């Protein structure tokens, strides 16, 4: 693989040289999309020191599977039971569903499907409307510059392959994350945009705020060599010569510590360890602790640290630092169902890479030789569409009636959630109303259509999948600790399709996908529907099939929502955790409403915006207790633990 994938000029040192008797201005928990982006930006100030605590390793052992786009689908890194997967599961829709999250430097940006999809201006303005008198602007105008700041965009060499006319002003050209189009195009992908046009969907570049319609989406691919551009290569690798940035690997944060001597608890540092029951270390923060542990890890760490619903904390005998009922609540996710079709004349699809090992090896060799336009390995999925409620139902009278019922049912839906806290109810009502307004009055997508050129891997024919994914769910779930052991995963209660409206919208998405499959020119490639199959026609039959086949689109959010405190919020518009000092959250858990987007892009932009917010107004430094820094709990021979952590520390010329 390209040598640039490795961290160059990196010194490996023992924990003693890294953190013993040291304190850092900023400690960031989590080395994923937000954590690494934030670390890179905060460490631009050479007078400020930054430490990142990351639970995973650097990914060198699986680097080829990270960097080659098609291997994302063929040899996944964050699969059940893998060492680079967090092992999150949820029991929903009558079965256990895997929630893949990458336990690796770069987080899920190292393993995801590479989509760089922004939400619409409508949705960002809706987000901002939830925050009256905010000191920060989370509207489209306040957020859009940070999307551009993230991006290093390269337009397709042949625009006819995508069918999308690029809006040059809607893309950044000097950001760290490479964004481009794959140089190989599957036959089905080549027909996607004209098919969307024949359905009456907008096909122009959506990245300037009109995030709806059908198009070929840009992906996080470095056009120079076709490899994945992700948080590590984009944000971390260029910082290799900085003397003020350290990244601890294989080190899981177990608790945020607080100085409670003042009127408001002040975050003072982070405890971390390598394994359950193992040695615990502590590192001190002079200015701020910033949690970027993700939608599942962030609420878990908050709760273990005494921040969350008091009743929950009391049940585990955890001392309450801040009673914040919203921690872990408001969980929402995009829910999808995949439909499958066989293709005529064994049309080329990703199935060929599974069916023929020799062919797959040849294609991988072409990729490594730089023959990207000839290699299926260079192409991820990238056909996408966002369809409004009005277009889904294709009946103005019925759509109006559906919206009226949504509004009328709000109170009962909120009450059915079982919240006993009035602020949680108020927050649910606020976001519910916002979602209804968005779906009722705009072209924003209720459903995402996603073309997968990697189908059902039928061993006779080649196939494709098309997925319908709910974008603005009305169902809400939660993420709650199940143990005081930080190495025991929290309970994820997804509550997928927990409202009648979610069922109806997703069912309409299934019907719309059948319309897509019968629309030219894509229809010219379709042989027959494999799943759910022609026998599934009635609403009940479709619902029964969805119950067995629906699952996550891997876009969870909102477990530490940016909402007013009296609406169950966890962070304010400056990303500060309510009722504390020196503690912020910077990751996708702060997103308060559904977004028609794949959340990598918004998460990068959140981190970029957070960096400017923090630089402009950091928490004043405190005097750290460095005598206790990197202290050990419980007492075990120090030398053995230090040696065990030697390979777990990356220091940039510290």
Q: Which helix (H) or strand (E) holds 263?
A: none
* % of the chain surpassing 70 pLDDT: 92
The CA distances from residue 645 to 16, 17, 248, 278, in Å, are 9, 11, 9, 12
Q: Say how far apart CA 93 and CA 492 lie, in whole Å.
A: 13
Q: Is the dihedral of CA 219, 222, 227, 229 positive or negative?
A: negative
Residues of the binding site: 588
Q: What is the pLDDT of residue 455?
A: 85
The pLDDT value recorded for residue 12 is 28
Binding site for FAD: which residues? 588
Query: Under a CB-based contact definition with an 8 Å cutoff, are residues 332 and 493 in contact?
Result: no
Q: Which one from 171, 334, 472, 555 is the annotated catalytic residue?
A: 555
Q: Given this model, what pLDDT does residue 20 score?
A: 58
DSSP for 130-163, written as a single string: TSTT-SS--SHHHHHHHHHHHEEE---S-GGGTT
Q: What's 343-392 look like in SS3?
A: EHHHCCCCHHHHHCHHHHHHHHHHHHCCCHHHCHHHCCCCEEEEEEHHHH
Encoded tokens for 20: 């013993």
Q: Is 374 within 8 Å of 366 (Cβ atoms)?
A: yes
φ and ψ of 252, to 5 deg? -95, 125
Cβ-based burial of 358 (10 A; exposed 0-12, middle 13-18, buried ≥19): exposed
Residue ranges of domains in the chain, CATH in brackets: 11-88+99-186+227-329+554-651 (3.50.50.60)
User: Rounded to two decimals, what is the model's pTM?
Assistant: 0.95
H helices of 253-325, where?
Answer: 294-304, 310-315
Q: What is the pLDDT of residue 158?
A: 77
Catalytic residue among 124, 178, 330, 598: 598
| 455 token code pair | 């189908």
Query: Residues of the chain whose pLDDT is less than 70?
Result: 1-18, 20-21, 161, 627-654
- Between CA 616 and CA 492 the distance in angstroms is 36
C-alpha distances in angstroms, 460 versus 74, 236, 351, 352, 457? Answer: 18, 44, 10, 11, 9
Q: Write out the E strands in 374-473.
A: 383-388, 445-452, 463-470
Q: Judge whether 84 counts as a catalytic residue.
A: no
Is residue 178 annotated as part of the catalytic site, yes or no?
no
What is the three-class DSSP state of 428?
A: helix
Only one residue has tokens 């477990």, namely 559
């Amino acid at each position: 693989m390209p040598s640039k994938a490795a961290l160059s000029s990196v010194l490996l040192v023992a924990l003693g040289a890294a953190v013993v008797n040291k304190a850092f201005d900023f400690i960031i928990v989590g080395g994923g999309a937000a954590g690494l982006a934030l670390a890179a930006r905060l460490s631009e100030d050479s007078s400020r020191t930054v430490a990142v605590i990351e639970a995973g390793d650097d990914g060198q052992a699986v680097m080829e599977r990270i960097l080659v786009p098609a291997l994302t689908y063929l040899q996944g890194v964050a699969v059940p039971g893998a060492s680079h997967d967090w092992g999150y599961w949820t029991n929903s829709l009558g079965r256990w569903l895997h929630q893949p999250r990458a336990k690796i430097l770069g987080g899920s940006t190292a393993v995801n499907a590479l989509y760089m999809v922004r939400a619409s201006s409508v949705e960002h303005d809706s987000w901002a409307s939830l925050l009256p008198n905010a000191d920060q602007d989370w509207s489209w105008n306040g957020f859009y510059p940070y999307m551009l700041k993230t991006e290093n965009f390269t337009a397709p060499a042949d625009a006819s392959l995508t069918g999308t006319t690029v809006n040059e002003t809607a893309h950044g050209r000097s950001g760290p994350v490479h964004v481009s189009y794959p140089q190989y195009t599957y036959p089905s992908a080549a027909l996607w945009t004209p098919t969307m046009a024949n359905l009456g969907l907008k096909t122009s570049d959506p990245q300037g705020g009109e995030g709806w319609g059908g198009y070929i989406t840009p992906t996080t691919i470095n056009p120079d060599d076709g490899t994945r551009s992700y948080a590590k290569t984009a944000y971390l690798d260029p910082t290799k010569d900085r003397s003020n940035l350290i990244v601890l690997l294989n080190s899981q944060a177990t608790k945020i510590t607080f100085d409670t001597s003042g009127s408001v608890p002040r975050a003072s540092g982070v405890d971390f360890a390598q394994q359950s029951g193992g040695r615990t270390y502590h590192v001190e923060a002079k200015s701020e602790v910033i949690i970027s542990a993700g939608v599942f890890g962030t609420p878990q760490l908050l709760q273990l640290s005494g921040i969350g619903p008091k009743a929950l904390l009391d049940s585990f005998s955890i001392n309450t630092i801040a009673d914040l009922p919203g921690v872990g609540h408001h969980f929402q996710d995009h829910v999808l169902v995949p439909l499958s079709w066989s293709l005529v004349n064994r049309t080329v699809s990703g199935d060929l890479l599974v069916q023929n090992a020799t062919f797959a090896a040849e294609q991988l060799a072409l990729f490594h030789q730089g023959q990207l336009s000839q290699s299926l390995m260079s192409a991820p999925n990238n056909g996408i569409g966002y369809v409004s409620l009005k277009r889904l139902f294709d009946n103005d009278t019925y759509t109006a009636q559906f919206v009226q019922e949504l509004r009328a049912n709000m109170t009962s839906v909120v009450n059915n959630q079982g919240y006993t806290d009035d602020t949680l109810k108020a927050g649910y009502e606020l976001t519910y109303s916002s979602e209804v307004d968005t779906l009722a009055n705009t072209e924003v997508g209720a459903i995402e259509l996603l073309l997968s050129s990697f189908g059902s891997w039928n061993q006779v024919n080649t196939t494709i999948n098309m997925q319908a994914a709910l974008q603005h769910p009305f169902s809400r779930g939660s993420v709650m600790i199940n143990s005081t052991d930080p190495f025991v995963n929290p309970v994820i209660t997804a509550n997928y399709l927990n409202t009648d409206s979610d069922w109806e919208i997703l069912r309409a998405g299934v019907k719309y996908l059948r319309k897509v499959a019968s629309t030219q020119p894509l229809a010219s490639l379709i042989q027959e529907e494999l799943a759910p199959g022609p026998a599934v026609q009635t609403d009940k039959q479709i619902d029964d099939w969805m119950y067995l086949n629906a699952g996550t689109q891997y876009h969870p959010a909102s477990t530490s929502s940016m909402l007013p405190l009296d609406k169950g919020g966890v962070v304010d518009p400056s990303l500060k955790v309510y009722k504390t000092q020196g503690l912020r959250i910077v990751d996708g858990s702060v997103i308060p409403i559904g977004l028609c987007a794949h959340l990598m892009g918004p998460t990068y932009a959140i981190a970029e915006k957070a960096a400017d917010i923090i630089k402009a107004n950091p928490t004043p430094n405190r005097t750290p207790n460095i005598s206790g820094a990197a202290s050990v709990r419980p007492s075990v021979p120090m030398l053995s633990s230090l040696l065990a952590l030697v390979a777990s520390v990356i220091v940039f010329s510290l």
